[in-house]
Amino acid sequence: MDVLSAIEKRREITAYKENPISEEDLSKLKTALYQSPTGNNLPSREFILITNKSLLAQLSKTTPYMRWLEQAAAGAAIIGREEVSKYWLQDASIAGGYLWLAATSLGLGAAWGAVYHAEDQQESARRESYVRNLLGIPEKYRVVAILGLGYPASDPPPKEMYAEDAVFHSNGFNVR
Protein backbone atom coordinates (compact mmCIF):
# COMPACT_ATOMS: atom_id res chain seq x y z
CA MET A 1 0.00 0.00 0.00
CA ASP A 2 1.42 3.41 -0.92
CA VAL A 3 1.72 6.09 1.76
CA LEU A 4 -1.21 8.22 0.52
CA SER A 5 -3.49 5.18 0.62
CA ALA A 6 -2.29 4.44 4.17
CA ILE A 7 -3.04 8.04 5.17
CA GLU A 8 -6.57 7.75 3.81
CA LYS A 9 -7.20 4.33 5.38
CA ARG A 10 -5.68 5.10 8.79
CA ARG A 11 -8.11 4.98 11.71
CA GLU A 12 -7.74 4.72 15.45
CA ILE A 13 -8.26 1.01 16.05
CA THR A 14 -9.05 0.04 19.63
CA ALA A 15 -10.46 -3.47 19.11
CA TYR A 16 -8.20 -6.20 17.81
CA LYS A 17 -8.34 -9.82 16.70
CA GLU A 18 -6.28 -12.27 18.73
CA ASN A 19 -3.86 -12.96 15.85
CA PRO A 20 -0.18 -12.33 16.64
CA ILE A 21 1.88 -10.06 14.42
CA SER A 22 4.53 -11.93 12.40
CA GLU A 23 8.22 -11.37 13.12
CA GLU A 24 8.58 -10.09 9.55
CA ASP A 25 5.94 -7.41 10.12
CA LEU A 26 7.35 -6.51 13.54
CA SER A 27 10.70 -6.03 11.82
CA LYS A 28 9.09 -3.68 9.28
CA LEU A 29 7.46 -1.69 12.08
CA LYS A 30 10.82 -1.37 13.83
CA THR A 31 12.31 -0.09 10.57
CA ALA A 32 9.58 2.56 10.32
CA LEU A 33 10.39 3.78 13.83
CA TYR A 34 14.13 3.71 13.26
CA GLN A 35 13.93 5.54 9.92
CA SER A 36 11.67 8.31 11.23
CA PRO A 37 13.33 11.73 11.01
CA THR A 38 14.72 13.70 13.92
CA GLY A 39 15.90 17.28 14.27
CA ASN A 40 19.58 17.44 13.32
CA ASN A 41 19.52 13.62 12.97
CA LEU A 42 19.99 13.27 16.73
CA PRO A 43 18.79 10.12 18.55
CA SER A 44 16.33 12.03 20.74
CA ARG A 45 13.75 9.23 20.78
CA GLU A 46 13.98 5.56 21.56
CA PHE A 47 11.50 2.71 21.42
CA ILE A 48 10.45 -0.32 23.42
CA LEU A 49 8.62 -2.99 21.45
CA ILE A 50 6.22 -4.94 23.68
CA THR A 51 4.76 -8.31 22.70
CA ASN A 52 4.25 -9.76 26.19
CA LYS A 53 0.46 -9.91 26.69
CA SER A 54 0.73 -9.68 30.48
CA LEU A 55 2.81 -6.53 30.18
CA LEU A 56 0.36 -5.03 27.67
CA ALA A 57 -2.45 -5.72 30.16
CA GLN A 58 -0.53 -3.88 32.90
CA LEU A 59 0.26 -0.97 30.56
CA SER A 60 -3.43 -0.70 29.65
CA LYS A 61 -3.95 0.75 33.14
CA THR A 62 -1.67 3.73 32.46
CA THR A 63 -4.77 5.89 31.94
CA PRO A 64 -8.50 5.08 31.90
CA TYR A 65 -8.38 5.76 28.14
CA MET A 66 -5.94 2.96 27.26
CA ARG A 67 -7.92 -0.15 28.25
CA TRP A 68 -7.85 -1.24 24.59
CA LEU A 69 -4.11 -1.91 24.90
CA GLU A 70 -4.94 -5.15 26.71
CA GLN A 71 -6.35 -6.54 23.43
CA ALA A 72 -3.39 -5.44 21.28
CA ALA A 73 -1.00 -8.01 19.82
CA ALA A 74 1.91 -5.65 20.41
CA GLY A 75 2.73 -2.18 21.60
CA ALA A 76 5.48 0.35 21.05
CA ALA A 77 6.48 2.72 23.81
CA ILE A 78 8.06 5.88 22.47
CA ILE A 79 10.41 7.62 24.86
CA GLY A 80 12.19 10.94 24.46
CA ARG A 81 15.53 12.30 25.55
CA GLU A 82 15.33 15.98 26.49
CA GLU A 83 19.09 16.25 27.02
CA VAL A 84 19.80 15.12 23.44
CA SER A 85 17.59 17.59 21.58
CA LYS A 86 15.12 20.35 22.25
CA TYR A 87 12.99 18.68 19.56
CA TRP A 88 12.55 15.42 21.51
CA LEU A 89 8.75 15.71 21.66
CA GLN A 90 8.38 16.50 17.96
CA ASP A 91 10.80 13.72 17.04
CA ALA A 92 8.92 11.18 19.18
CA SER A 93 5.56 12.27 17.78
CA ILE A 94 6.76 12.01 14.18
CA ALA A 95 8.06 8.49 14.91
CA GLY A 96 4.59 7.55 16.18
CA GLY A 97 3.05 8.83 12.95
CA TYR A 98 5.49 6.79 10.88
CA LEU A 99 4.69 3.69 12.93
CA TRP A 100 0.94 4.22 12.56
CA LEU A 101 1.15 4.58 8.77
CA ALA A 102 3.48 1.59 8.47
CA ALA A 103 1.05 -0.49 10.55
CA THR A 104 -1.85 0.57 8.32
CA SER A 105 0.13 -0.33 5.20
CA LEU A 106 0.62 -3.85 6.62
CA GLY A 107 -3.08 -4.34 7.31
CA LEU A 108 -2.66 -3.67 11.02
CA GLY A 109 -4.57 -1.25 13.19
CA ALA A 110 -3.06 1.14 15.70
CA ALA A 111 -4.13 3.49 18.47
CA TRP A 112 -2.22 6.24 20.25
CA GLY A 113 -2.09 6.05 24.03
CA ALA A 114 -0.88 9.41 25.28
CA VAL A 115 1.37 9.15 28.32
CA TYR A 116 3.07 12.55 28.30
CA HIS A 117 0.52 15.21 29.27
CA ALA A 118 1.70 18.72 28.33
CA GLU A 119 -1.13 20.52 30.17
CA ASP A 120 -0.97 18.67 33.51
CA GLN A 121 2.50 18.10 34.91
CA GLN A 122 1.27 16.05 37.86
CA GLU A 123 -0.79 13.73 35.66
CA SER A 124 2.12 13.41 33.23
CA ALA A 125 4.47 12.53 36.09
CA ARG A 126 2.02 9.89 37.38
CA ARG A 127 1.57 8.29 33.94
CA GLU A 128 5.24 8.42 33.03
CA SER A 129 6.28 6.97 36.40
CA TYR A 130 3.82 4.09 36.02
CA VAL A 131 5.17 3.17 32.58
CA ARG A 132 8.78 3.83 33.60
CA ASN A 133 8.45 1.39 36.51
CA LEU A 134 6.85 -1.36 34.39
CA LEU A 135 9.38 -1.10 31.56
CA GLY A 136 12.52 -0.25 33.56
CA ILE A 137 12.98 3.13 31.86
CA PRO A 138 15.58 5.43 33.48
CA GLU A 139 14.40 8.74 34.95
CA LYS A 140 16.19 10.85 32.34
CA TYR A 141 13.75 9.64 29.64
CA ARG A 142 10.31 11.11 28.99
CA VAL A 143 7.55 8.66 28.14
CA VAL A 144 5.61 10.17 25.24
CA ALA A 145 3.15 7.48 24.19
CA ILE A 146 2.37 3.82 23.77
CA LEU A 147 0.89 2.74 20.47
CA GLY A 148 -1.17 -0.41 20.46
CA LEU A 149 -0.90 -2.60 17.38
CA GLY A 150 -2.89 -5.53 16.06
CA TYR A 151 -5.22 -6.82 13.39
CA PRO A 152 -8.45 -4.77 13.46
CA ALA A 153 -11.52 -6.59 14.78
CA SER A 154 -13.58 -4.62 12.24
CA ASP A 155 -13.06 -2.30 9.28
CA PRO A 156 -14.25 1.17 10.33
CA PRO A 157 -15.98 3.37 7.75
CA PRO A 158 -14.14 6.34 6.21
CA LYS A 159 -13.63 9.34 8.45
CA GLU A 160 -16.05 12.22 8.09
CA MET A 161 -13.72 15.13 7.51
CA TYR A 162 -14.39 18.83 7.79
CA ALA A 163 -14.12 20.98 4.67
CA GLU A 164 -10.56 21.44 3.38
CA ASP A 165 -11.03 25.20 3.10
CA ALA A 166 -11.52 25.30 6.87
CA VAL A 167 -7.84 24.46 7.37
CA PHE A 168 -5.97 25.47 4.20
CA HIS A 169 -4.62 28.93 3.44
CA SER A 170 -2.62 30.01 0.41
CA ASN A 171 0.49 32.18 0.70
CA GLY A 172 -0.73 33.71 3.95
CA PHE A 173 -3.30 33.29 6.69
CA ASN A 174 -6.91 33.69 5.61
CA VAL A 175 -5.93 33.86 1.96
CA ARG A 176 -8.10 31.30 0.21
Look up the domain containing 85 and give its range: 3-154
> Does some domain include residue 165?
no
Q: What is the pLDDT of residue 158?
A: 81
- When divided into structural domains, the chain yields a total of 1
Q: What is the pLDDT of residue 4?
A: 93
Residue-wise pLDDT for 5-53, tens only, equals: 999 999 999 999 999 999 999 999 999 999 999 999 999 999 999 999 9
On the CB side of 137, how many CA atoms lie within 13 Å of its CA? 25
Q: How far is C-alpha 54 from the geometric centre of its chain's CA atoms?
A: 20
On the CB side of 70, how many CA atoms lie within 13 Å of its CA? 11
Residue-wise pLDDT for 87-113, tens only, equals: 999 999 999 999 999 999 999 999 999
Q: To the nearest 10°, report the CA torsion of 105, 35, 71, 111.
A: -70
Can you point out the beta strands (E) in the chain?
45-50, 74-80, 109-114, 142-150
Q: What is the pLDDT of residue 174?
A: 82
Average pLDDT, integer, range 80-90: 97
- How does the average pLDDT of the chain come out, rounded? 96
> Does some domain include residue 169?
no
Query: Is residue 96 within 8 Å of 78, Cβ to Cβ?
Result: yes
> Does some domain include residue 176?
no
Q: What is the pLDDT of residue 35?
A: 98
> Does some domain include residue 57?
yes
130: domain CATH number is: 3.40.109.10
Instruction: Identify the CA nearest to 131 among candidates 15, 50, 68.
Output: 50
